[in-house]
Structure 1
Amino acid sequence: MELFTCSVLISCAVVSILYIWRILNWVWFTPKSIESRLRSQGFTGNPYRVMTGDLKEIAVLAKNAQSQSMEFTNDILPRVYFVFHSAFQKFGKKSFVWFGPRPALVITEPEVVREILLKNYIFQKIPGSPLTSFLGKGLVMLETELWAKHRKLINPAFQLQKLKHMVGSFHLSCTNMLKKWDELAKTGGSIELDVWPYLSEMTSDVIARAAFGSSYNQGGRIFHLQKQQAESIIQANRSLHFPGWRYFPTKENKRLKNITEEIESIFRSIITARLDEEAGVRETDDLLGVLLESNAREMKENGAKFGMSMKDVIEECKIFFFAGQDTSATLLVWTMLLLSKHQDWQARARDEVLEAFGKRKPDYEELSHLKIVTMIVHEVLRLYPPIVMLARLTEKDGSSGKVRIPGGVQLMLPVLLLHHDPVIWGEDAKEFNPERFAQGVSEATKGRLTYLPFGWGPRVCIAQNFALLQAKMALATILQHYSFRLSPSYLHAPHTVVSLQPQYGAPLFLTKI
């Protein structure tokens, strides 16, 4: 008995020592080793502080950045990249920032960015924190074989022929929004209105119709819940979290859990209802129908393990609904704000639209041939990309360009910085000049990887054509019926809530045409 007790005690001691060693390695030995290797290559930054790294400083910087607006210029890097802008000022561009016990490097050379995005099996997405997993673990966050499987199954939903069928749904959502504006402006034909919530609601309706067909009316509730999720997650991610933190029964964790369960319940009911429909009656023009059809065909031909489970489909719906709505709304709001400031380009775009199809509903081909509108959309995406930073990670030691990257270092690919670089775009890099895209993206970038609003490489956004088509339809429809200019109450304050958004909304004067 004594021998057994002794063995148990020894085993417990060994386990405790191993656990303590793992913790010490995580919070001290590994970060200090990485710091030493980075400094030996000429990188500089704050000394590592146990557990917190630079998180306390980052919280202060975030508070200061969001506490005041700025002049309406496109020089938004100090406000949006407040963490890295501060590091650049203190240490130069060859610097690192500590997010807890893990450092991050900003990669500014286009060729190195190209290499990282091409080698997607080596430089992978940074695993979502337990908090960000609430938003969805679909294609955006999957890696290697799982990513390849999901990409194959989802691709058919975004083929050109499918997108052409969605033009009618896009137009319906836009005209429904304009009806609300008409009702508000009916007395004098002009009104001051914050267009940001209307554009968000409209793009939510577009995603719901395109994704779920006749079940679109449940989209509003999903949009509202996911917005709450995103705001909570952004605030929480600015703090340090211990392993298992999300399982503690805090008020915020309970709230996030309840929101997630409600969202998943809505999606499950929609998917279950669709699966219960008879095959001959099933609607397949919407994204969910195409996905389920593609999934069923794959499992029939190659076996169940090659398809998606119900949970997989729910996760893909969650991430598509959030990412599609969020990025489209931000693209449209910055487009309206910039055209409000640059009335000459607004007039040129309107003239092109009215000449092409008057005030009637355009078709896919007509939208595709809008040259000025396309130039404007590309320039807005350059100045105000929805996602301002791409992040990658290598778990093992590797190299990129001339830099030897220790395993565990985050690589930050600064989309906004590349888009605003005067060396790349010229002295007017921070000016709104759609003319630079007159001959297309390739000519504007001179073949360099300096424009990536939808990412690039094997993991380029699968829905980019969907987003561009939706934006052109919405902009054309608005230009057909309204002119708009900035309200004096507009405060320029770009900030990130997953995507780049106007912190204080977008109040404009709208005048019915």
Structure 2
Amino acid sequence: MVTSGIGSPLASPWEDRQLLLFSVAGAVLAWCAVRVLEWAWWRPRRLERALRSQGLRGTAYRSLAGDAALLVRLNKEARSRTMPLGCHDIVPRTMPLFHHAMKEHGKTSITWFGPMPRVTITKPELVREVLSNKFGHFEKLTPTLGRIQRLLHNGLGSHEGEKWAKHRRIINPAFHLEKLKRMLPAFAECCTELVHKWEGVVGSDLPCEVDVWPHMQNLTGDVISRAAFGSSYLEGVRIFQLQGEQVLLVLQAMNKIHIPGYLFLPTKANRRMKHISAEIGRILRGIITKRENALKSGEARSDDLLGLLLESSIADCRGDGCSNAGMTTDDVIGECKMFYFAGAETTSVLLTWTMIVLCMHPEWQDRVREEVMLVFGASTPDYDSLSRLKIVTMVLYEVLRLYTPLTALQRKTYKPMELGGVRYPAGVALMLPVLCVHHDKELWGADADEFRPERFAQGISKASADAPAFFPFGWGPRVCVGQNFALLEAKMGLAMILRRFSFELSPSYRHAPFPLGMLQPEHGAQLKLMRLP
């Protein structure tokens, strides 16, 4: 009998192997195709049906790019023009996609981050619940976003679970009040240098135009460099410069991460990001090694963040007794990067927007200066006097509300989770648009888009309905560990500037808030500075 097929008398061994290879390759290709379809189409559509069946509305899922094209179009439209001077209704310009979605589909609305549904959460009690995350129901980042974030830092903000708990325990002592007091001389020294620099260019009679935005960036970079690294200040300045370039490259990459494997492509930008990350790592490793050797020989200073961090890590090892206690050198490098990214950027934008807003509201500039002169006179500010600046604190809080440095936070469900009566499947991003919450008229009143520092006269808890609804530094166990550091630095900087200068907006200033990482002035912050007698 004549037969055919694999193993038949008419088929050679070579043909058998070919048929087997073709069969295996076909099966692999079919499996890959099914996986791609599951990831790019079937799973997003299942998640969309699950959310819409519970009454949620939003943009429809149509392609792997999600809402990328809509985002580009809305961004282009929103940023094609600047805002009127004195207008603080900045959400439509800075968060056009979420503003559009919430306007069209309601505050709890669906947008798409690639094939992942993203639901906006704006009710303060739900924001607090997500950020409290008591039982670990929400993850910090998606893997792709995590890879991008690690190019900037691999510190406390990117960790989860036991590693986060260990790092938080080790880092907390470095930000205790008594330790922060010891850093105030570094704050004062940097602020004094800035004031002297401006006095050198601003005449005694005529005002001088200065773009204060790069000056604020340099100031806070100097503060972080001195406060974090002490005697290694110049090396710290180089890290600050590299981090600034890295932020711009990372934000460019964010627009393309819906492309599978984009970060692994050998593009010029990707190669540069990896090179910068490696160079920062080399500089930090050298600083840390020298400091560790000094600690072992008993010669190290401990009044900067790096010294305090290393001492706390050593103490953790002694107290725990476990082999995995303390932090590795790579862990310390990640936390140092975090100091730069979070510490310098947050305070620089806060100081810049505060000066801009005080130009728009000169009556408040006069009130703040009067308080500063009453409390300090000509003396160098110290902690006790800074803590008595009630009007300054109200102003800084109101600026943080209107011009929140980090406009949104994001979490992700890794298992089915009920929140606010909606059952979210695993794999849904929860977008917490903090800036939108801070401008919500239902929470802050009809004047939510107006500059009214007096709303904080009785503290944060009395400032809004459904209080607290104020999240400039996050909330819950993951609240920013350096918020007191940032506020002390901002108070010191603002106080020392106000004692020597008055300022107003230059005719060349264009009001254009822009979320480039942190919320920045897109076209700079051109002010006219006048020296005070």
Q: What TM-score do the two structures reach when normalised by structure 1? A: 0.96
CA distance in 2: counterparts of 1:64 and 1:219, whole angstroms: 39
SS at match of 1:140: helix
CA distance in 1, matches of 2:163, 2:75: 35
1:193-238 superposed Cα distances (whole Å, 9 cap, x missing partner) = 1100001100000011111111112232222211111112212212
Partner of 1:45: 58
**What is the correspondence of 1:383-422 to structure 2 with a 5 Å cutoff?**
383-422=402-441
Contact 1:58 1:238 in 2 (8 A): no
The alpha carbon displacement at 1:466 in A equals 0.5
Question: What is residue 459 of structure 2 aligned with on the other side?
Answer: 440
2: distance between equivalents of 1:473 and 1:364?
9
Structure 2: unaligned runs, 5 residues or longer: 1-12
Q: Does 1:219 align with 2:209?
A: no
What CA RMSD, in Å, does the superposition of the two structures yield over aligned residues?
1.8
Q: Out of 188, 196, 202, which is 2:213 matched to?
A: 196
User: Aligned match of 1:87 in 96, 101, 106?
Assistant: 101
State the 1:20 CA deviation. 2.9
Amino acid at match of 1:65: A
Could you tell me which runs of 5 or more consecutive residues in structure 1 were left unpaired when the two chains were aligned.
none
Deviation by residue 1:290-331 (Cα, 9 ceiling, x = unmatched): 111111222234233122111111111111111100000000
Q: Distance in 1 between matches of 2:331 and 2:169?
A: 14
Q: Quote how far apart the aligned CAs of 1:420 are.
A: 1.2
For residues 260-409 of structure 1, the aligned pairs below 5 Å read 260-277=277-294, 278-301=296-319, 302-409=321-428
> Which one of the candidate residues 454, 471, 474 is aligned to 2:490?
471
3-state SS of 1:130 partner:
helix
Secondary structure of 1:361's partner? coil
Name the amino acid aligned to 2:371: E
Greater Cα radius of gyration, structure 1 or 2: 2
In the aligned structure 1, how far is the partner of 2:386 from the partner of 2:206? 27
Report the number of matched residues. 513
Preserved contact between residue 461 and residue 468 of structure 2 (Cα < 8 Å): no
Which string of whole-angstrom CA distances, capped at 9 and with x for unpartnered residues, describes residues 246-300 of structure 1?
2221111111111111111111111111112144211111111011111122223
Corresponding residue number in structure 2 for 1:69: 82
Q: 1:388-439: CA deviations, max 9, x gaps?
A: 1111111211110101112111111121111111221112111111111111
Structure 2 SS opposite 1:115: helix
Q: Is the 8 A contact 1:52 1:240 kept in 2?
A: no
- Counterparts of residues 141-156 of structure 1 (less than 5 Å): 141-156=158-173
TM-score by length of 2: 0.92
Task: Specify the code of the residue in structure 2 equivalent to 1:299.
Answer: C
Equivalent residues of 2:442, 2:465 under 8 A apart: no
The answer to which of 218-227 and 310-319 deviates more is 218-227
Q: What is the DSSP-based 3-state SS (H/G/I as helix, E as strand, rest coil) of the residue aligned with 1:510?
A: strand
Structure 2 Cα separation of the partners of residues 68 and 230 of structure 1: 24
Q: Residue in 1 aligned with 2:249?
A: 232
User: Within 2, Cα distance between the matches of 1:104 and 1:327?
Assistant: 25
Question: Match for residue 205 of structure 1?
Answer: 222
Letter in 2 for 1:223: F
Whether the 8 Å contact between 2:64 and 2:258 is mirrored in structure 1 is: no
Instruction: Select the residue among 119, 122, 138 that pairs with 1:123.
Output: 138
What letter is aligned with 2:410? Answer: A
* Cα separation, 2, equivalents of 1:314 and 1:21: 41
Distance across 1 between alignment mates of 2:512 and 2:405? 14
The 2-side partners of 1:355 and 1:235 are apart by 47
CA offset at residue 16 of structure 1? 4.0
CA displacement at 1:89 relative to structure 2: 3.2
Q: Deviations over 1:444-494 (max 9, x none)?
A: 236623111101111110000101111100011011111111111110100
1:184 aligns with 2:201: yes
**Please, which of 26, 45, 50 is the counterpart of residue 39 of structure 2?**
26
Q: How many percent of aligned residue pairs carry the same amino acid?
A: 48
Structure-2 change in CA distance of 1:343 and 1:443 (3 Å): same
State the alpha-carbon separation in 1 of the partners of residues 172 and 272 from structure 2.
34
1:42/1:94 contact within 8 Å kept: no
**Residue 133 (structure 1) shift:** 2.2
Deviating more after overlay: 194-203 vs 182-191: 182-191
1:36 positional shift: 0.8
